Amino acid sequence: MTPPEIAKKWLHAFNTKDLNALLAIYDDNAVHFSPKLLVRRPETKGLVKGKEAMRDWWQDAFDRLPDLSYKEKTITANDSRVFMEYTRVVSNEPDMNVAEVLELENGLI
């Protein structure tokens, strides 16, 4: 997959709540930072490391926010990095503009 295809797959996996598809595009030792994680689980300092920690974090988000969706705004990529902007949409919360950087190596985040 090309870097933009990986980004689109990432967005699609979130929007369909397909945790296995989401984790399949990550390296086993990947690290993910989230300001939301920092707020909800301050002991993590905003970081989760490895697929199992990501699985736990994202499953919690899918369970808490069943109507969570991301609306793509822009995707910009080179061979090793994707920058994407999207809008986070959840009922009863203001829409949130988000920017995300995915660093890629060997076709995985």
Distance CA 69, CA 107 (A): 25
Which one is predicted more confidently, 75 or 37? 75
Is residue 23 within 8 A of residue 66, CB to CB? The reply is no
**pLDDT tens-digit map of 61-74:** 999 999 999 999 99
- How many CB atoms within 10 Å of residue 106? 5
pTM over 0.85: yes
Residue 36: pLDDT band with limits 50, 70, 90: confident
- Per-residue pLDDT for 26 more than 90? yes
Residue 19: pLDDT band with limits 50, 70, 90: very high
